[in-house]
Amino acid sequence: MPVPALDPGGARRIASERMTDRTAARGEFSGSLVRIAVPIALQNFISSGVSMLGTVMVGRLGEAPLAAVGLGNQVYFLLLLFIFGITTGGGVFTAQYWGRKDLAGIRRTVGLSLAAGLGTALVFTLVSAAAPAAVIGIYSRDPEVVALGARYLRISALAFLPMAASFVLGLSMRSVEKVRLPLVATLLSLGLNAALGWVLIFGKFGLPAMGVEGAAWAVVASRVLELAVLWAVSYARRYPTAGSLRELARRDALSLSRYLAIALPVIANEVTWSLGITTYNAIFARAGTAHLAAYNVANTVGQLAMVLFLGTANAAAVMIGKKIGEGDTDTARLWARRFAMMAPALGLAVGLLLLPVRLAVPWLFRLDAGTMAQVSAMLVVLGLAFPFKVFNLHVIVGICRAGGDTRFGFWYDLGGIWGLGVPLAALGAFVLGLPAWGIFLMTMTDELGKAGFGLWRLLSGKWLRRVIA
């Protein structure tokens, strides 16, 4: 049999085409990452920065008001994570529907998420408005903290419904790569929160100083403004998420069962994780008001440091989910590996930056020297744990949820926070009598424990599923 002649020109052409494809894939990855992650990161930076400014303003009133607002915000934080679970569960479908350009599927999913989110927010509103002292009393036994926290929570509960609707709409827009409007809405909203908070907390322009109640009213006004901007502009521009009432309310048994199969593990994941974080707050509160104040400050700085990674993790979810929806699973797996390598490297860099940042804490908060020392030590612990924390965020929110592997995420967080973090933090606080930074170190053990399991799941390839029909 004659041997075919070699075609050096053809071989070079094939090699050149493959190199061009790889270059185009890298360009698509980088371009999509910047286009999606940067506005989300900026949005989270603005949100965390204003939150930090609010903490600084209330901190000027003393440790008790700072602790009270921190506990009141724990209820908001718990609700936020419920809504985050509902919306990111729906976001698995939205991103994959977007890859297929299925507007009916996108709008049906947004409607399901809105119904679930508003129903949950209504329950939180009624409980917080009816019995705010009982809710704050779960966390703290300090009568002054409970009284101040109840006054703050009764008012701020009015923000729960508009916050839920805004969050669902904003995250759904991110899933279809409409990231600028949520950024603008957040900028306007939180700018109002900062300005109005300064006026009402300290009594500027002839108004009475309202303290923690002023901070609460500023939150309510800002959330109403955010929802108004998102709703009006998205419908004026006919975004993919902006369906009619009939499109949003459309249901069928198959779509509902698929939604629940993916979304319920995400909701359970966020609830169990958020209850763990809430339990951390209760542990610090029971250990002492100074412990809680130190934890609130360290936590606020940590949230500010995480803003870049909330952007990249959400970008990973959109980018990988879209590729799965397009049927390009090879690229989805490649991009998942890139995010898994990029995340801890960037986490290490940001973690190291926290070491000099801790020197600025005494200039921002009016706390005693002992509490300041605890905050400084907490930030060292946080900096060392940051690469693991960032990797875990990308595995759960960016990769596994994009691939529809939401059950793994549930067990991943459940084992980490309830199997390691909460028991060890309670041991440190109530048995060993550790200082605040030692208890904080115990809370970080869940991040270290989870990282190995996340790497195993990623390498197994079992995280990738196509959830849309």
How many domains does the chain divide into?
A: 1
pLDDT-based confidence at residue 411 (cuts at 50, 70, 90) = confident
pLDDT tens-digit map of 279-327: 888 898 888 878 888 888 888 788 778 878 888 888 888 888 888 888 8
Angle of helix 436-443 versus helix 253-287 axis, rounded to 10? 160
**Amino acid, single-letter form, for residue 35:** R
List, for residues 348-398, the tens digit of each pLDDT value: 998 888 888 777 776 666 667 788 888 888 899 998 999 999 999 999 888
The answer as to whether 417 is a domain residue is: yes
12 within domain boundaries = no
Provide, rounded to the nearest whole percent, the portion of the chain with pLDDT above 90: 19
Under the phi-then-psi rule, with left for phi > 0, alpha for psi from -120 to 50, and beta for the rest, what region is 381?
alpha
Q: Is 243 helix (H, G, I), strand (E, B) or coil?
A: coil
Q: Would you say residue 26 lies in a domain?
A: no
Domain carrying residue 364? 33-460
Residue with tokens 């804490």: 361
Q: Is the pLDDT of residue 22 over 70?
A: no
What is the per-residue pLDDT for 25?
Answer: 56
Identify whether 89 is part of a domain.
yes
Mean pLDDT value of segment 218-224 = 90
119 belongs to a structural domain: yes
Query: Does residue 114 lie within any of the structural domains?
Result: yes
Which segment of 16-20, 186-190, 427-431 scores lowest on mean pLDDT? 16-20
Residue 425 pLDDT > 70: yes
pLDDT tens per residue, range 225-237: 999 999 999 999 9
| 16 three-state secondary structure | helix
pTM above 0.75, yes or no: no
Name which of 120-129, 168-177, 389-398, 438-447 the model is least confident about. Answer: 168-177
- Per-residue pLDDT of 172-208, as tens digits, reads 888 888 888 988 998 898 889 888 988 988 888 888 8
Model confidence pLDDT, tens digit, residues 44-92 = 676 655 555 666 777 777 777 877 887 877 788 778 878 877 887 787 7
Q: Output the pLDDT for position 253.
A: 56
The rounded distance, in Å, linking the Cα atoms of 153 and 133 is: 9
Residue 254 located in a structural domain: yes
Contact at 8 Å (CB) between 350 and 379?
A: no
User: How much is the pLDDT for 394?
Assistant: 92
Tell whether 15 is covered by a domain.
no
Does the structure show a pLDDT above 60 at 2? no
Contacts of residue 177, defined as CB under 8 A and 6 or more positions apart, other chains included, come to 35, 36, 98, 318, 322
